[in-house]
């Protein structure tokens, strides 16, 4: 959509010569200016925008009455990044972007300047430096963007939050992402809650009840507000079901956190910094009461519940003996069934496991990032030996196939529905749990409203985990329901999903023993 003269100049000269020889001289029309971007809709997406990074529900701009190709937005922008798209629903479509990466928008605003539009890399975005009310003017006729700072966001009076308990959950907290048993604060007075203890590097948010990701959480006003040696970068917090903003602890250590639920503020004080982590492959012996294998190199995938335990040898080494498969072929080991806990990793991400053994026998033990994993490059049966005393791994290739065959039944206490057809959309944190039958541990049901859209099921709230999917992508469900059909259970691609083509109340039934799924229309 940019200048045709630059792209087709040489071709145009050749074409002119050809036309002259055939029909005599004719004038060649060269379009120098940019062509208008013709669209009736324009949206912005990013953590600087009201709806965050939701590509399915981005924030809309309004077309001008005088010129439908001039779009405006006036409202709050948060510190963060943003870009624009013509339609929702796809990260692969072209985006409107600044002419250079990280173009900063401050209270000084930005005058009208040229933008670019393309799909893919480089993923250029505007960066909002100052929170405030802005007026955005995007002229799709002449490819310009203007940012005007209107003023500060008025502070609304806060209603004190009444609660008897306050918890925090996240991989930075002592109890990790365990929503059933999150870490509890001490109640000092009616509105003051404190915590004094160790925090790891990672993320956290707060809640006032256990057992549900669907409740309101206490969060920072923008995602990624840091907690470190200097305290907390922004003392204000908010209470909402989304977007899923979280605080980020960047320095591990012993902290004192104070939440004031009357004034909606948080204070953080680092009391004692944790010692630096040992270098990869070095350090004390790894203490463990059990070790399990997890990853898509295993039949059990990323399911904590189904992860196979390693056997303990006479010399106190942990041994996995069984099949390792390809696909993405990633593998790591855990000692506590909590994704927020420390895992056993290779020193370098993608460390090869193959018929020749393992590329590097050193192991590391830590929580959080970088989430390095072993990569299986040859499918077959292996004997993997972990020496936790000396922090080493040994791998022996046994042969093709012959690995233990996993039980076809899927064992789990929880099952979730996720997708834009479900009431909670694509949010894994807020995904709705199905009801487990009291009479049959393998039967799970969901009865409720479903929108027109797609969905699938998961056991673990992680995009890299296995999902329950239809055998055929886009299998449709309408008021006639769907008789019981076999489903698939795997991680990665192809990302098959069921499709609701008629909104309404449905009853969904999954049989995890026989791996079947049925749907009926209730009303």
Q: Are residues 423 and 388 in the same domain?
A: no
Give the contacts of 455 (CB within 8 A, at least 6 positions apart).
417, 418, 419, 420, 421, 422, 497, 498, 500
- Give the separation between CA 517 and CA 471, rounded to whole angstroms: 11
> Does residue 170 register a pLDDT over 70?
yes
Co-location of 117 and 68 in the same domain: yes
- pLDDT, tens digit, for every residue of 290-330? 899 999 889 888 888 888 888 887 677 899 988 888 766 78
Last residue of a domain, one of 117, 151, 185: 151
My answer on whether 91 and 177 are in the same domain is no
Asked whether residue 427 falls in the same domain as residue 390, the answer is no
Instruction: Report pLDDT digits (tens) over 115-168.
Output: 999 998 889 999 998 889 999 999 999 999 999 999 998 877 789 999 999 999
DSSP secondary structure string for all residues of 147-184 = EEEEEPPPPPPPPPPP-S--EEESTTSTTTT-TTSPEE
- Same domain for 144 and 213, yes or no, is no
Per the structure, the complete domain to which residue 355 belongs is given by 292-399
Using the 3D structure, point to which of 399, 432, 451 is the last residue of a domain: 399
Would residue 19 count as lying in a domain?
no
Q: Is the CB of residue 494 less than 8 Å from the CB of residue 472?
A: no
**Low-confidence winner among 179-183, 326-330, 415-419 (lowest mean pLDDT):** 326-330
Contact 375, 477 (CB under 8 A): no
The per-residue pLDDT for 283 is: 59
Q: How many domains does the chain have?
A: 4
Q: CATH no. for residue 513?
A: 2.60.40.3620
Per-chain mean pLDDT for the chain: 86
229-266 residue pLDDT tens: 999 988 999 998 877 889 999 999 999 999 999 999 99
* In a domain? residue 4: no
The pLDDT tens digits for 465-513 are 889 999 888 999 999 999 888 898 887 778 899 999 999 999 999 999 8
Query: Is residue 162 assigned to a domain?
Result: no
* Region for 296 from its dihedrals, namely left if φ exceeds 0, alpha if ψ lies in -120 to 50, beta otherwise: alpha
What Rg do the C-alpha atoms of the chain give, in angstroms?
A: 28
- Is 64 within the bounds of a domain? yes
Return the CATH number at 326.
2.60.40
Assess if residue 88 is contained within a domain. yes
pLDDT tens, 78-119? 888 999 999 999 998 999 999 998 899 999 999 999 999 999
Alpha carbons 70 and 60: distance in angstroms, whole number: 13
In a domain, 404, yes or no: no
Return d(Cα 82, Cα 46) in angstroms, integer: 4
For residue 282, is it within any domain? no
Of 369, 399, 429, the position where a domain reaches its end is 399
Q: Is the pLDDT of residue 402 over 50?
A: no
Q: Mind giving me the DSSP string for 399-424?
A: ESS-PPPPPSSPP-S--EEESTTSTT
- 347 and 395: one domain? yes
């Amino acid at each position: 959509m940019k200048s045709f003269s630059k792209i087709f100049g040489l071709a145009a000269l050749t074409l002119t010569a050809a036309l002259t020889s055939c029909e005599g001289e004719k004038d060649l029309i060269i379009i120098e200016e940019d062509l208008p971007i013709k669209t009736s809709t324009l949206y912005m997406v990013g953590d600087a925008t009201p709806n965050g990074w939701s590509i399915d529900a981005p924030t809309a701009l309004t077309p001008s009455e005088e010129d439908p190709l001039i779009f405006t937005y006036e409202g709050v922008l948060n510190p963060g990044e943003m870009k624009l798209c013509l339609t929702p629903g796809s990260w692969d479509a072209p985006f409107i972007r600044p002419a250079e990466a990280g173009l900063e928008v401050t209270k000084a605003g930005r005058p009208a300047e040229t933008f670019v539009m393309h799909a893919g890399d480089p993923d250029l975005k505007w960066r909002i430096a100052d929170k405030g009310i802005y007026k955005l003017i995007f002229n799709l006729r002449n490819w310009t963007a203007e940012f005007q700072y209107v003023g500060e966001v008025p502070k609304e009076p806060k209603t004190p939050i009444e609660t008897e308990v306050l918890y925090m959950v996240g991989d930075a907290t002592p109890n990790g992402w365990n929503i059933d048993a999150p870490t509890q604060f001490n109640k000092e007075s009616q509105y003051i809650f404190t915590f004094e203890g160790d925090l790891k590097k990672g993320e956290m948010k707060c809640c006032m009840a256990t057992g549900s990701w669907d409740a309101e959480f206490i969060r920072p006003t923008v995602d990624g507000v840091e907690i470190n040696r200097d305290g907390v970068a922004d003392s204000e917090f908010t209470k909402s079901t989304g977007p899923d903003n979280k605080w980020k602890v960047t320095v591990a250590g012993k902290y004192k956190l104070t939440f004031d639920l009357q004034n909606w503020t948080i204070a953080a004080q680092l009391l004692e910094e944790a010692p630096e982590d040992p270098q990869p492959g070095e350090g004390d012996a790894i203490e463990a009461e059990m070790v399990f294998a997890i990853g898509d190199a295993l039949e059990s995938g990323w399911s904590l519940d189904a992860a196979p335990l390693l056997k303990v040898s006479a010399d106190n080494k942990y041994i996995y003996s069984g099949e390792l498969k390809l696909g993405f072929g990633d593998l790591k080991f855990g000692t506590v069934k909590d994704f927020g806990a420390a895992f056993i990793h290779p020193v370098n991400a993608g460390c090869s496991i193959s018929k020749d053994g393992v590329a590097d026998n050193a192991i590391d033990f830590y929580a959080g990032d970088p989430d390095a994993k072993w990569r299986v490059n040859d499918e077959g049966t292996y004997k993997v030996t972990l020496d936790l005393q000396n922090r080493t791994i040994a791998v022996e290739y046994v042969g093709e196939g012959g690995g233990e065959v996993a039980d076809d039944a899927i064992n789990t206490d929880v099952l979730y529905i996720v997708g834009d057809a479900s009431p909670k959309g694509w949010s894994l944190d807020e995904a709705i749990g199905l009801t487990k039958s009291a009479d049959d541990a393998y039967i799970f049901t969901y009865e409720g409203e479903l929108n027109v859209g797609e969905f699938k099921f998961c056991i673990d709230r992680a995009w890299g985990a296995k999902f329950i999917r239809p055998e055929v992508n886009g299998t449709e469900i309408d008021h006639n329901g769907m008789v019981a059909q076999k489903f698939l259970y795997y991680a990665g691609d192809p990302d098959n999903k069921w499709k609701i083509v008629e909104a309404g109340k449905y009853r969904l039934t999954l049989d995890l023993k026989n791996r079947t799924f049925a749907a009926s229309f209730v009303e």
